[in-house]
Amino acid sequence: MDFDSLFRAQIETLKAEGNYRTFAELERKRGEFPRAANHKDGEVKDITVWCSNDYLGMGQHPDVVQAMVDCVQACGTGAGGTRNISGTNHNHLLLESELADLHGKAAALLFTSGYVSNWAALSTLGSRIPNVVILSDAGNHASMIEGVRHSRADKVIWKHNDWRDLDRKLAAVGDRPKVVAFESVYSMDGDISPIKEIVQVAKAHGALTYIDEVHAVGMYGPRGGGVSEREGLADQIDLIEGTLGKAYGVVGGYITGSAPLCDFIRSFASGFIFTTALPPAVAAAATASIRHLKTSQIERQRQREQVAKLRARLDRAGIPHMANDSHIIPVMIGDPVKCRMISDILMRDWGIYVQPINYPTVAKGTERLRITPSPFHSDADIDHLATALASLWQQCALSHAVA
């Protein structure tokens, strides 16, 4: 069989549908976020990044950078092994302690990414709890879906953010062990789940509660513990999962919960057992970032101000964007080819980088630009972006929002 021909044919189909993904080759510059250098066709151009998940610019914070540099000088680069075989470093334990404290839990467990922590934790719960049923929100991230699928446990999908539908489906499951898995902030629409009602329903049916706070940790709550902290509900949730690669500006994932729960995942999750541990310097930098955001409100407050300013500016320009209560601004296009074209023109002519979001990340017909203002985007940056979008909206014959 000519495998390369098969591969090329499927790639060509993606391109014809407008869903082929190209990567911007960026070079981040310390101290200049959200500015970056874009390398393309042998040329280098300075651009402004509007779609980074480094939501608060903590990947550039002097304390975080210095913590990583100091740890590299002290410990070297890699961890040297899996956590079980020589790879557990003192910095890993300091970070796990910091994370447990962040969420008010007895224990925490580090993973190499947020994807892996979801995949490993859910697959372990589903495969090791006898006769369990996992009830998963219809909008859950691919990492959660893969974890449930890999577990081979029975699953039930409940309507997105619909706690009444969850209640009905929990009742239908009966007396079997149950895990309710959902997110706090959903990354593409930016909507926030009704955590209180979901937890109340889950507890009424004796279910274990599992929340993904990946897009919320560092961003919400008085210490950055996420939406569950902001709402005073963290103590009522059994397992809180998060990432170090977004608001904390580093890389890695984690879970927090009771000591037996975390030890259970540690002991049985293949995604934890059989992978090399995070470099100690990454753990040290993440610890510095978490400690800073536990006490500093400056970054969160400034970020909220810039989100509000951009939304107001888009409204004045008639640019349709999805309403939500989070920091994520989805600007709706509804066409994969136009979405890609607008992104390309923004980069080429305006020095603005916003990645097009197409299928399968979002459903066909809901293609969008996902914009994430940071504390470091200036008012002039906001005006420049809004002006560029208004110009392209007219050029590409897209519908304006109705005032």
Summarised one tens digit per residue, pLDDT across range 329-349 is 999 999 998 999 999 999 999
Residue 402 binned pLDDT confidence (cut-offs 50, 70, 90): very low
Given its phi and psi angles, is residue 343 left (phi above 0), alpha (psi -120 to 50 degrees) or beta?
alpha
Q: Residue 276: which region, alpha, beta or left (left: phi > 0; alpha: psi -120 to 50)? A: beta
Tokens of 53: 């998940």
CB atoms within 10 A of CB 159: 14
Q: Which helix (H) or strand (E) holds 25?
A: strand 25-28
Q: Percentage of residues in the chain with pLDDT exceeding 70?
A: 98
* CA 185/CA 139 separation, integer angstroms: 10
- State percent of the chain over pLDDT 90: 93
pTM confidence score: 0.95
Task: Please say whether the beta carbons of 319 and 400 come within 8 A.
Answer: yes
Q: What is the mean pLDDT of the chain?
A: 96
DSSP element (H, E) containing 64 = helix 62-75
Q: How many residues does the chain have?
A: 403
Q: The sheet that has 356-357: what strands, in order across it?
A: 329-332, 368-371, 356-357
Q: At what angle do helices 379-395 and 336-350 cross, to 10 degrees?
A: 130
Burial 326-348 (b: 16+ CB within 10 A, else e): bbbbbbbbebbbbbbbbbebbbe
Residue 322 pLDDT grade (very low, low, confident, very high; cuts 50, 70, 90): very high
Residues tagged active-site? 246
User: Which residue from 56, 42, 47, 41 is spatially nearest to 27, judged by alpha carbons?
Assistant: 47
Q: Residues 50, 41: contact at Cβ < 8 Å?
A: no
Q: Is the pLDDT of residue 61 over 60?
A: yes
- pLDDT average, residue stretch 136-155: 97
d(CA 288, CA 292): 6
* 126 to 178, 232, 260: CA distances (angstroms): 9, 28, 16
- Coil, helix or strand for 324? coil
Q: Give which of 212, 189, 137, 197 is closest to 324, Cα–Cα.
A: 189
pLDDT the model gives residue 398: 63
Q: Summarize pLDDT for 199-240 with one digit per residue, the tens.
A: 999 999 999 999 999 999 999 999 999 999 999 999 999 999
In whole angstroms, give the CA distance from residue 283 to residue 326. Answer: 27
Q: Would you say the C-alpha torsion 159, 149, 187, 227 has a positive or negative sign?
A: positive
360 cis-preceded (ω within 30 degrees of 0): yes
- Which residue type occupies 83? R
Q: Which pair of structure tokens corresponds to residue 1?
A: 């069989």
What is the secondary structure of 192-230 as a DSSP string? B--HHHHHHHHHHTTPEEEEE-TTTTTTSSTTS--HHHH
| pLDDT number for residue 278 | 98
For residues 216 and 229, what is the distance between their CA atoms, to the nearest angstrom?
Answer: 10
